[in-house]
Amino acid sequence: MHHPRHFSRSKFRLIAVTGVLLGAGGWWLWQPAQPKAPKSQPMTVIADERPHKPAPPQAPPLTTIVRQPKIDQYLTAKHFSGSVLIVRDGQVVLRKGYQERDRQQHLPNTPTTAYYVGSAQKALIATAILQLQDAGKLRVDAPVATYLPAFPNGQRITLRHLLTHTSGIRGHVETSQPMTPAELLTDIQHRGIRRMPGRWQYHDSNYTVLACLVEQLSGQPLMTYLQQHIFKPAKMRHVGVAADFKALPERSVGYQIKDGQPVATNPGDLSQLFGVGDLTMPATDLYRFDHALMTGQLLSASALKTMLTAGSASTYGMGFYVNPGSYSNHGIISGWNVTNSISRSGQTYIVLMANIQNNLRSLGQVTNDLYGLLNASS
């Protein structure tokens, strides 16, 4: 869960809140791929079971790049622990890991360390929904009952309300017990509504419903759809799911500061975060998503404008907060804290992935400070 901008809000011990590169001595380049319309026929039921997906391949080593020492010094002085990627005008300004990804084994964070991204995943789900609208398979202003006839207040609640967290649903109360997407959807429907749609209240369940609709209307399991229509065209090669995280050679361990010391966390089963916080990736892949989104590789121009328009006074659009100078996203899983920000011009991308959740008061403020340092050096 989020506070109204970038920042965290606890939900028992699971927290889901709230997105080319240089090789050794040179650039990782890619040719932009065009998104393809889904070819599968719509299903009438949501898949409860999906094949086990093997862990993504380990990312090849990336060299550390520091083109602005003042930014590096600022992050070091802040005791930032994690990986940072900053790109401005197509050039990597900073690509570096800070402190350790595993404090027991003294393994360092690197540019290719993998992290849970928490609610930063919601931007991918919003992208998938808008892709399906571009493909003619749904309308974001259609009532939810068009696709889920039993949905509470489904004639008044639209997909746009779900996308902007203004649906008024009560939503599922997350625990650490395993649940299937179908069971989550049933519980969300059973819990009914809190109020009429229109008032902003951030709730994971809005995007759980949307993730289920991606499966239903595309005819594909969610990860299959994301792989074909987002990960592949954006060249995101190292995205994983929570169930496979422990098998990754460069996975990070999440920590929380308790009594002044970092203590390792155990997020447990994350199946209840279906579509809203169960993905893992390195900073490079979240940047690639942001870049592909902003350069028209994933959505039509009209769909991107819809996504990046605030849906309420909260400034939340669809998967991103719409700030005066930037679009930003934020995610937390117990022990991990992630934010990604894109300047309105598309000139600057900042990705911060931390494996100490609570040693910094605000990653949003850190991001703002980084913009200031970048602009001061221009």
Query: Across 286-373, where does the E strand assignment appear?
Result: 321-322, 326-333, 336-343, 348-354
CB 18 within 8 A of CB 7: no
- Domain of residue 56: give its range: 22-27+47-377
Torsional sign, CA 283, 212, 134, 321: negative
What are the pLDDT digits (tens) for 226-239? 999 999 999 999 99
> Does 42 reside within a domain?
no
Mean pLDDT within 337-366:
96
Rounded CA separation 213/39 (Å): 16
Higher pLDDT: 16 or 330? It is 330
Q: Which residue has the tokens 């494996």?
A: 355
Average pLDDT, the chain: 88
Rounded CA separation 227/244 (Å): 16
Rounded CA separation 46/185 (Å): 9
Give the single-character DSSP code of 325.
S
Helix (H, G, I), strand (E, B) or coil at 367: helix
Domain count, the chain: 1
CB 193 within 8 A of CB 159: no
Rounded CA separation 199/328 (Å): 21
Decide if pLDDT at 185 tops 70: yes
pTM: 0.85
Q: Reduced to 3 DSSP states, what percent helix, strand and coil does the chain have, rounded to the nearest 5?
A: 30, 20, 50
As given in the structure block, the two tokens for residue 78 are 């802040």
CB 152 within 8 A of CB 193: yes
Helix (H, G, I), strand (E, B) or coil at 372: helix
- Count of H helices and E strands in the chain? 10, 16
> Does 347 reside within a domain?
yes
> Does 224 reside within a domain?
yes
What are the pLDDT digits (tens) for 25-35? 333 333 334 33
As given in the structure block, the two tokens for residue 108 are 């360092």
Kindly give the interhelix angle for 181-191 and 204-218, rounded to the nearest 10 degrees.
130
> Does 32 reside within a domain?
no
Rounded CA separation 171/187 (Å): 8
Rounded CA separation 130/173 (Å): 27
CB 252 within 8 A of CB 356: no
Rounded CA separation 203/277 (Å): 12
> Does 14 reside within a domain?
no
**CATH number where 142 lies:** 3.40.710.10
Of 58-72, 93-107, 167-181, give the lowest mean pLDDT range. Answer: 58-72
> Does 89 reside within a domain?
yes
Q: What pLDDT is attached to residue 184? A: 98
Rounded CA separation 117/125 (Å): 13
Of 3-12, 79-88, 142-151, give the lowest mean pLDDT range. Answer: 3-12
> Does 39 reside within a domain?
no
Q: What pLDDT is attached to residue 29? A: 30
Mean pLDDT within 252-259:
97
Q: Which amino acid is at 125?
A: I
As given in the structure block, the two tokens for residue 75 are 């992050």
Decide if pLDDT at 338 tops 80: yes
Q: What pLDDT is attached to residue 377? A: 87
As given in the structure block, the two tokens for residue 36 are 């393809």
Spatial neighbors of 280 by CB under 8 A, at least 6 apart, are 114, 115, 116, 117, 239, 240, 241, 242, 244, 245, 248, 251
> Does 143 reside within a domain?
yes
As given in the structure block, the two tokens for residue 30 are 């890619």
What are the pLDDT digits (tens) for 144-181? 999 999 999 999 999 999 999 999 999 999 998 999 99
